Amino acid sequence: MRCIKIYGDSILKGVIYNETLKKYRLFGYKYEELEKRGYCVENNCKMGATIEKGLEIIKATLGDDEDGNLVVMEFGGNDCNFDWAEVARDPEGRSHLPLTPEDRFVEKYAEAVDYAKKRGALVKICTLVPIESKRFFNWVSRGLSKENILKYIGDVNAIGRWQEYYSRLAERVAEKTGSEIVDLRSAFLQPNTLDRMICIDGIHPNAEGYERLSRVFQKNVVSDCQ
């Protein structure tokens, strides 16, 4: 049986924020369409994973012979994030870096793709589900100085533009490595969609959002695997 091995962060892991319980839980992905097509699905995603952590997981879980298998990667959402407490403490600082600076992100992402391809796998790279900037800003600035964070980033929507930049970097890696793209982002950019489908934290899809994400993911992967 051919296998689809998924690597990424909490989005493709299926993490959702439960406002009643005030904590994160798993939504519970189902892969009926892929399984119907004869694929086994192995989800190796990890909450909080950056591309460097993802590369470690890839090296630990991929076999020497992955011929006929598909590896799907979705990284960038954590890589582009900042240490917001440090930003709030020193908004005038010029040395604040994202968890994975852009050049290193591209370098390590390409390395991960190359590692999988050398073992015979077909590789697909996902675009990032967009964040809802205002909710995300309110979420990460809890207990911190919103004024200082805003002083550093300039405007709230800059957060969304920065995250979009990392999604474009992922597309650049796909082009550079000859990998196809699984476009998750576009499904959330339709009018009146993002507001309705993203949790209070501005990052994770809610139940409706995950239903859409699951459909789009499976449709793209299946169409790529015909």
Tell me what percent of the chain is helix, strand and coil, each rounded to the nearest 5: 45, 15, 40
Whole-number Å distance between alpha carbons of 181 and 127? 7
Amino acid 33: pLDDT = 85
Residue 111's pLDDT is: 98
Distance from the Cα of residue 46 to its chain's centroid = 10
Look up residue 65 and give its DSSP letter: -
List all residues 6 or more positions away from 152 whose beta carbon is below 8 Å from its beta carbon.
87, 91, 92, 93, 96
CA distances in angstroms from 185 to 8, 90, 171, 203, listed in the order given: 15, 33, 11, 13
Rounded to two decimals, the pTM is 0.95
- The C-alpha atoms of residue 187 and residue 184 are separated, in whole angstroms, by 6
The answer to whether residues 184 and 217 touch, using CB atoms and an 8 Å cutoff, is yes
pLDDT single digits (tens) 162-213: 999 999 999 999 999 999 999 999 999 988 889 999 999 999 999 999 999 9
Residue 225: per-residue pLDDT: 53
Domains of the chain, start order: 2-224 (3.40.50.1110)
The segments of the chain whose pLDDT lies below 50 read 226
